[in-house]
Amino acid sequence: MIPFQARYAALPEHAHVRQSPVPVAAPRWIAFNRPLAEALGVPVDRPDTALLEVFAGNRVPDGARPLAMAYAGHQFGHFVPQLGDGRALLLGELQDREGRTFDVQLKGSGPTPFSRGGDGRAALGPVIREYLVSEAMHALGIPTTRALAAVATGEFVQREQPLPGGVITRVARSHVRVGTFQYFAARGDVDTVAALIDFTLDRLGVSPGDNAALALLDHAVEAQAALVAKWLGVGFIHGVMNTDNCALSGETIDYGPCAFMDTFDPKQVFSSIDRHGRYAYANQPVIAHWNLARLAETLLACIDGDENAAIAKVNERLEAFPGIFERHWRAVFGAKLGLAEAGPEDAALIRGFLDALHAGHADFTLAFRHLAGALDGSTPALLAGLFADRSALDAWLPQWRARLADDDRPIDTIRSDMNVANPDRIPRNHLVERAIRAAEDRDDFSVFERLQRAWARPFEFDEDFADLRDPPADHERVTQTFCGT
Ligand code: AMP
Ligand code: MG
């Protein structure tokens, strides 16, 4: 028996809708995350088929009370008062060995009252993308939802063409989003906002202090700043930072059109629907700030009975965001440059390297990874060869070495620190695409399995995966991604 709890189900009943998954024709395992299952107390020694039935949505396990969560959201800046889980169901919650509680959610498990005409299903391609990328993000040390299981349904879903279907099981500290708060605030339902504040603080282990709503806002500000700084550190572009995809837990959620950039370009966008670059690489901190302002609006009535006093309190928090973000950003990029600690005066040095990457059209991941080779005063060919124009790099390297000299740390220490801050390989989009093509077109999951292994230890050089380090050849380059649903 899987020891499910039904905690979200205990919230006021209009927060969710009870809904059972719709069974699929011929479920087949694609992936099962055994270590994660064990950590959550899922009995993995039981017959495979019983678990397969659960993670395909064909059998509701004892103790689970599947439900679709209600939420709203700003999509590309436009408010939609009702979105909700249209193709996902929260099965229930499980605890890990440290006593932390996690949501377990099926995605692609059939329509719900929130489906708005959609089929409630997921195609296999997006399931593979989410499985690969979310697990890789975890291995890169970035807060994220995890992938517990992936199942092929044996059915087709109709998109622009018929595609094989899949169900992914996602695990999160909490699926409560900014959009969850917006759903109730937009209806003037202050009582449910208050209940949701208490629920979320309790779930995330955050003390309510003397003002629970402010404690939640403070937590969200810090968590989003930390998260987006980490995204920028690996060249990650989320692609659809709508408020319904912004989790209070500070986990990366929704791997629709996300992609990692190859050549560094702060304006990089992949998503086909992001025509104005709202969610471009360098705009992500600006959008996180904007999303936090939308969260703050929903909390006002719970912060202070006097609206002006409440506004003053949230403004103080929101105005602090850029500074908090900058602190996280400096910590991430200072470590990537091998600094023992990056202070405010190091921001210019960090920007200098990014500008050199941009000017030289260099690959973001490899340039940081090979930079350690230049610690001894040389400019190794592996590094220089990444730059179409190396004049900015050549001007910058002596400044960097002079700054490192101030730290007075041995080169070996700096090098090993840099190697755990700069991944050797990341989930490049053309590789994700390769895994999807093999699975969808040829029913071949070997690429998917190999990439899972390669990205489980992204900081360790591994000869077996040396071919996975490089940027795409011109014909392999993926220039556009889609909100695959
Ligand atoms: P997303 O783009 O994944 O953030 O989803 C935005 C909204 O559309 C959410 O309310 C989803 O539940 C809903 N949605 C996306 N795809 C489907 C689908 N295939 N069937 C039903 N609802 C969907
Ligand atoms: Mg979403």
Tokens of 189: 């339902």
Using the mean position of ligand 2's atoms as its centre, give its distance from the Cα of residue 254 in Å.
5
- Ligand 1 proximity of 84 Cβ (cutoff 6 Å): yes
- Ligand 1 proximity of 74 Cβ (cutoff 6 Å): no
Q: Which ligand is nearest to the CA of 114?
A: 1
**Dihedral over Cα of 352, 358, 363, 365: its sign:** positive
Read off the pLDDT of each residue in 2-10 and give the average, rounded to a whole number. Answer: 95
CA gap 283, 403 in Å, rounded: 28
Integer CA distances (angstroms), 462 to 134, 139, 233, 424, in order: 21, 15, 22, 9
- Ligand 1 proximity of 256 Cβ (cutoff 6 Å): yes
Q: Ligand 1 atom 13: the closest Cα is on which residue?
A: 86
Q: Are residues 68 and 17 in contact, defined by beta-carbon separation less than 8 angstroms?
A: yes
Q: What is the pLDDT of residue 432?
A: 97
CA gap 351, 368 in Å, rounded: 13
- For residue 92, the surrounding DSSP H or E stretch is strand 88-95
Read off the pLDDT of each residue in 5-15 and give the average, rounded to a whole number. Answer: 94
pLDDT tens for each residue of 386-442: 999 999 999 999 999 999 999 999 999 999 999 999 999 999 999 999 999 999 999
Using the mean position of ligand 1's atoms as its centre, give its distance from the Cα of residue 86 in Å.
5
pLDDT tens for each residue of 73-103: 999 999 999 999 999 999 999 999 999 999 9
pLDDT tens for each residue of 116-135: 999 999 999 999 999 999 99
Using the mean position of ligand 1's atoms as its centre, give its distance from the Cα of residue 129 in Å.
16
pLDDT tens for each residue of 249-306: 999 999 999 999 999 999 999 999 999 999 999 999 999 999 999 999 999 999 999 9
Q: Ligand 1 atom 7: the closest Cα is on which residue?
A: 83
Using the mean position of ligand 2's atoms as its centre, give its distance from the Cα of residue 482 in Å.
13
- Ligand 1 proximity of 373 Cβ (cutoff 6 Å): no
Q: Residue 171's beta-bridge partner residues?
A: 104, 146
**Dihedral over Cα of 467, 251, 265, 411: its sign:** negative
pLDDT tens for each residue of 162-184: 999 999 999 999 999 999 999 99
- Ligand 1 proximity of 115 Cβ (cutoff 6 Å): yes
- By most ligand atoms within 8 Å of CB, the mutation choice from 119, 134, 254, 485 for ligand 1 is 485
Asked if the model's pLDDT at residue 484 lies above 80, the reply is no
Amino acid symbol at 206: V
Q: Ligand 1 atom 14: the closest Cα is on which residue?
A: 86
- By most ligand atoms within 8 Å of CB, the mutation choice from 106, 112, 116, 159 for ligand 1 is 116
- Ligand 1 proximity of 132 Cβ (cutoff 6 Å): no
Least Cα distance to 123 among 161, 97, 86, 91 occurs for 161
Q: What is the pLDDT of residue 47?
A: 66
- Ligand 1 proximity of 108 Cβ (cutoff 6 Å): no
DSSP, collapsed to helix, strand or coil, labels residue 88 as strand
CA gap 20, 41 in Å, rounded: 23
Q: Which residue has the tokens 């397969």?
A: 52
* Whole-structure pTM value: 0.98
Q: Are residues 216 and 177 in contact, defined by beta-carbon separation less than 8 angstroms?
A: no
**Closest ligand 1 atom, CA of 85?**
12
- Ligand 1 proximity of 125 Cβ (cutoff 6 Å): no
Q: Which residues form the catalytic set? A: 244
Asked if the model's pLDDT at residue 377 lies above 90, the reply is yes
pLDDT tens for each residue of 177-211: 999 999 999 999 999 999 999 999 999 999 999 99
- For residue 199, the surrounding DSSP H or E stretch is helix 190-204
Least Cα distance to 213 among 137, 138, 317 occurs for 317
Using the mean position of ligand 2's atoms as its centre, give its distance from the Cα of residue 423 in Å.
27
